Amino acid sequence: MCGIVGYIGKEEALPVLLEGIKNLEYRGYDSAGFAILGEDEKVSGEKAVGKISALAEKVGGRKFGGKTGIIHSRWATHGGVTEANAHPHSDCKGVIWLAHNGIVENYKELKDELNKKGHSFKSETDTEVIAHLIEEELNPVRSRAPAQGGSPEGTAGAATSNGTFSNAVRNALKKIRGTYGLVILKSDEPDTLVAARNFSPLLVGLGEGEYIVASDAAAVLKHAKNVLYLDDGEMAVLTRDGHRVFDLEMRERDKESQVIDWSPERAQKNCYPHFMLKEIFEGPEAVENSVRGRLVLEEGNAKLGGLEKVMPALRNAKRILISACGTAYHAGRVGEYMLEEYGGIPVETDIASEFRYRKPVFREGDVFLAISQSGETADTLAALREAKEKGVPALAVVNVVGSTIARYADAGVYQHIGPEIGVASTKAFVSQVSILALLTLLIGRQREMSVVMGRRIANELTKIPELMRKILKQSDNVATLARKYGKYGNFLYLGRKYNLPVAYEGALKLKEISYVHAEGCGAGEMKHGSIAMIDENFPSVFIAPQDSVYEKMISNIEEIKARRGLVIAVATEGDKKIADIADDVIYIPKTLEMLTPLLSVVPLQLFAYHFGVLRGLDVDKPRNLAKSVTVE
């Protein structure tokens, strides 16, 4: 959730930190703060409630000096949104300073123990406990007095340390139950920065004479192309002379760096007013990048190099279990229809947060597939671990190279769509659906799918990007519709078969971006409850292309109209019948039924975007949400 950046190097730390955390603001924007360690062993900094811009305004033109520092943008879990609860947090005398992403599950009992030992706390957060634990490990017998003020300012005490900085961190972390991504500095060791990870993403950018610790690669792109991804239970000790990685038993780990293939420019808005709109318009390119080099048109097949080593398991699979959260879950639901109808294999799709807490029954011949744009989604990772522990081949579809899920899975497929910055996922959805279409080809051609059908699917998939671009040209018309319906506070999204998950996804986008109540529903299920809500003030959005369930959808529209409900329809070009009964229609080009979600979702993404913008909301950073959900 939260954004973390740490820096040690040759440049003034604060500009690097502010630039890095700005690129991570989608991970949390309740409050922010930084701590800079000067050469005089004095820590100075600032905190502010709100977005990074509020912190930058508070700093103004002040210079803080120092070439070592940490910064944090918060997505609140424990404690309200206040400056006192903003990170970084420190120990009693302002010697230890740290930024944290995660949750300390046993913080109350730890805090009680520390209070009894004389520690004084300044915040309501679970994070502050970690700083005091490290302090206790360094010097358990010295007297303590609270640091002055709520801002990160303190001077190292004169007490003698009972252990090294890294050992103290290690011993403190052993007492913690929960998750953490941590970057820590010690005021009397200006040439050292410590980073640690457990179930919360953290990487180290390897620059020239400098290191950047971050919770996401977007923060290091300008300074480092090579990164070390820390694994769970690992700690990195960074100095001006080099870096070392240890486990919590202080056994050194030999880790290879990886190259980030994203450019800084790909993480910028370019000419678009918002990242969300930019990423909606990048949807066609996302599909192209996801299928490039993976289609074998003449054979009507797909080649997924990342799955080569598990091909025997896929060939003999009797069932596929898909697990994901949010938008990725909706993509998985589309994949379920594809794989069952054309791949000829039973599929079960689960919300990862439910999968991990029930007792799933695995069978011989099962294959597990996790879907996560970030590759760090906590619940999806836990579901993946559960499958692996039961001996089930565990696959993944992820976007971020080197992410935890990518590294933990037995095999997988990368999306190759570049960074997705907008909190509400858009281009990742169409990429994931495209890859599931490729997987359908791969499995289907090993079973009963004919070469003719394979070629048809493959050829239609190559046409999808251009058809998406055609829909995107209607953006202004969709904005007009958003203005027309902007006064309504409730929407029902309805679909059937392949477009049922699209109905759920369309409703999710509107909720995320505009804070308007919207819900997805199976059109056939509507009569069993949801239709009770319909009147002239409750519009319905029907995804009704001319497919195998078209006539059923028309009947459902008639049922809504009979109750004075307003209807917006997403329909196939040339469909005049639907125009006679719906109040408004957004047309999409004709394609194969299994591929219609790649087209029908685009106007729903645009509608949500324009609806939110017209309400004056920050659509890139919707309230209470963060891009990568790394806590439960």
Q: Give yes or no: residues 435 and 528 share one domain.
A: no
Q: Which of 40-44, 224-228, 243-247, 461-465 has the highest mean pLDDT?
A: 461-465
Q: Give yes or no: residues 106 and 64 share one domain.
A: yes
Q: Which pTM does this prediction carry?
A: 0.73
Catalytic residue among 2, 92, 325, 521: 2
Q: Which of 81-95, 221-235, 259-273, 493-507 has the highest mean pLDDT?
A: 493-507
2 is a catalytic site residue: yes
- pLDDT, residue 262, reads 63
Using the predicted structure, report yes or no on whether residue 255 has a pLDDT greater than 60.
Answer: yes
- pLDDT, residue 137, reads 92
Residues 290, 438, 495, CA angle at the centre, nearest 5°?
95
Establish how many alpha carbons lie within 13 A of residue 159's alpha carbon, considering only the half-sphere containing its beta carbon.
21
Give residue for tokens 């029907």: 542
- pLDDT, residue 162, reads 43
Among candidate residues 405, 417, 413, the one with its CA nearest the CA of residue 306: 413
Q: Give yes or no: residues 353 and 241 share one domain.
A: no
| 369-398 exposure pattern, b = at least 16 Cβ within 10 A, e = fewer | bbbbbbbbbbbbbbbbbbbeeeebbbbbbb
The arithmetic mean of pLDDT across residues 224-248, rounded, is 91
Q: Which of 224-238, 253-267, 450-464 has the lowest mean pLDDT?
A: 253-267
For residues 14 and 6, give the distance between their C-alpha atoms in angstroms, rounded to a whole number: 10
Residue 501 covered by a domain:
yes
For 370, the domain range is 269-471
627 is a catalytic site residue: yes
For residues 529 and 521, give the distance between their C-alpha atoms in angstroms, rounded to a whole number: 10
At residue 136 the predicted structure's pLDDT band, cuts being 50, 70 and 90, is very high
Residue 627 covered by a domain:
no
- pLDDT, residue 150, reads 43
At residue 147 the predicted structure's pLDDT band, cuts being 50, 70 and 90, is very low
Among candidate residues 146, 145, 202, 199, the one with its CA nearest the CA of residue 176: 199
The arithmetic mean of pLDDT across residues 351-376, rounded, is 91
Q: Give yes or no: residues 465 and 518 share one domain.
A: no
Q: Which of 224-228, 251-255, 388-392 has the highest mean pLDDT?
A: 388-392
For residues 426 and 622, give the distance between their C-alpha atoms in angstroms, rounded to a whole number: 14
Decide which of 409, 439, 471 is a domain's last residue.
471
At residue 418 the predicted structure's pLDDT band, cuts being 50, 70 and 90, is confident
For residues 203 and 4, give the distance between their C-alpha atoms in angstroms, rounded to a whole number: 10
Q: Give yes or no: residues 301 and 416 share one domain.
A: yes
Using the predicted structure, report yes or no on whether residue 389 has a pLDDT greater than 50.
Answer: yes
Using the predicted structure, report yes or no on whether residue 144 has a pLDDT greater than 70.
Answer: no
Sheet bearing 517-522, strands edge to edge: 517-522, 490-495, 540-543, 567-572, 584-588
CATH of the domain at 527: 3.40.50.10490
- pLDDT, residue 145, reads 45
At residue 627 the predicted structure's pLDDT band, cuts being 50, 70 and 90, is low
Using the predicted structure, report yes or no on whether residue 27 has a pLDDT greater than 70.
Answer: no
CATH of the domain at 125: 3.60.20.10
Using the predicted structure, report yes or no on whether residue 149 has a pLDDT greater than 50.
Answer: no
CA 268 to the chain's CA centroid? 17
Q: What is the per-residue pLDDT across 307-358, written as a single tens digit (0 to 9) for each? A: 999 999 999 999 999 999 999 999 999 999 999 999 999 999 999 989 878 8
- pLDDT, residue 159, reads 35
Among candidate residues 2, 216, 210, the one with its CA nearest the CA of residue 89: 2
Q: Give yes or no: residues 177 and 34 share one domain.
A: yes
User: What are 48's strand-pairing partners?
Assistant: 32
Q: What is the per-residue pLDDT across 2-17, written as a single tens digit (0 to 9) for each? A: 889 999 999 899 999 9
Could you tell me if 408 and 381 are in contact, meaning their C-beta atoms sit under 8 angstroms apart?
yes
Residue 629 covered by a domain:
no
Q: Give yes or no: residues 318 and 382 share one domain.
A: yes
For residues 608 and 479, give the distance between their C-alpha atoms in angstroms, rounded to a whole number: 9
The arithmetic mean of pLDDT across residues 479-502, rounded, is 97
DSSP state of 292: T
Q: Give yes or no: residues 82 and 109 share one domain.
A: yes
User: What are 520's strand-pairing partners?
Assistant: 493
Decide which of 438, 471, 504 is a domain's last residue.
471
The arithmetic mean of pLDDT across residues 579-590, rounded, is 96
- pLDDT, residue 258, reads 85
Say which residues have a Cβ less than 8 Å from residue 145's Cβ, sequence separation at least 6: 92, 93, 120
Residue 78: what residue type? H
In whole angstroms, how large is the CA radius of gyration of the chain?
A: 26
- pLDDT, residue 527, reads 86
User: What are 73's strand-pairing partners?
Assistant: 3, 32
The arithmetic mean of pLDDT across residues 496-503, rounded, is 97
- pLDDT, residue 346, reads 97
Say which residues have a Cβ less than 8 Å from residue 81's Cβ, sequence separation at least 6: 30, 31, 49, 74
Residue 630 covered by a domain:
no
Q: Give yes or no: residues 514 and 413 share one domain.
A: no
Q: For the chain, what is the mean pLDDT?
A: 90
At residue 213 the predicted structure's pLDDT band, cuts being 50, 70 and 90, is very high
Using the predicted structure, report yes or no on whether residue 65 has a pLDDT greater than 90.
Answer: no
Q: Give yes or no: residues 481 and 464 share one domain.
A: no
Residue 152 covered by a domain:
yes
Establish how many alpha carbons lie within 13 A of residue 595's alpha carbon, considering only the half-sphere containing its beta carbon.
23
Using the predicted structure, report yes or no on whether residue 265 has a pLDDT greater than 60.
Answer: no
The arithmetic mean of pLDDT across residues 376-387, rounded, is 92
DSSP state of 348: E
Residue 207 covered by a domain:
yes
CA 614, 618, 619, 624 torsion-angle sign: negative
Residue 190 covered by a domain:
yes
The arithmetic mean of pLDDT across residues 12-30, rounded, is 83
Using the predicted structure, report yes or no on whether residue 630 has a pLDDT greater than 60.
Answer: no
Query: 395 vs 41, 155, 368, 523, 572, CA distance in Å?
Result: 48, 50, 6, 32, 35
Using the predicted structure, report yes or no on whether residue 161 has a pLDDT greater than 60.
Answer: no
For residues 107 and 379, give the distance between their C-alpha atoms in angstroms, rounded to a whole number: 21
Q: What is the per-residue pLDDT across 438-452, written as a single tens digit (0 to 9) for each? A: 999 999 999 999 999
Catalytic residue among 47, 225, 278, 627: 627
Q: Which of 342-351, 581-590, 614-623 has the lowest mean pLDDT?
A: 614-623
Could you tell me if 6 and 237 are in contact, meaning their C-beta atoms sit under 8 angstroms apart?
no
At residue 280 the predicted structure's pLDDT band, cuts being 50, 70 and 90, is very high
Residue 632 covered by a domain:
no
User: What are 183's strand-pairing partners?
Assistant: 99, 195
Say which residues have a Cβ less than 8 Å from residue 585's Cβ, sequence separation at least 6: 568, 569, 570, 571, 575, 578, 579
Establish how many alpha carbons lie within 13 A of residue 350's alpha carbon, considering only the half-sphere containing its beta carbon.
24
Q: Give yes or no: residues 237 and 335 share one domain.
A: no
- pLDDT, residue 628, reads 58
Decide which of 265, 293, 323 is a domain's last residue.
265
The arithmetic mean of pLDDT across residues 106-135, rounded, is 93
Task: Count the domains in the chain.
Answer: 3
- pLDDT, residue 146, reads 44
Q: Give yes or no: residues 293 and 416 share one domain.
A: yes
- pLDDT, residue 131, reads 95
For residues 415 and 223, give the distance between their C-alpha atoms in angstroms, rounded to a whole number: 24
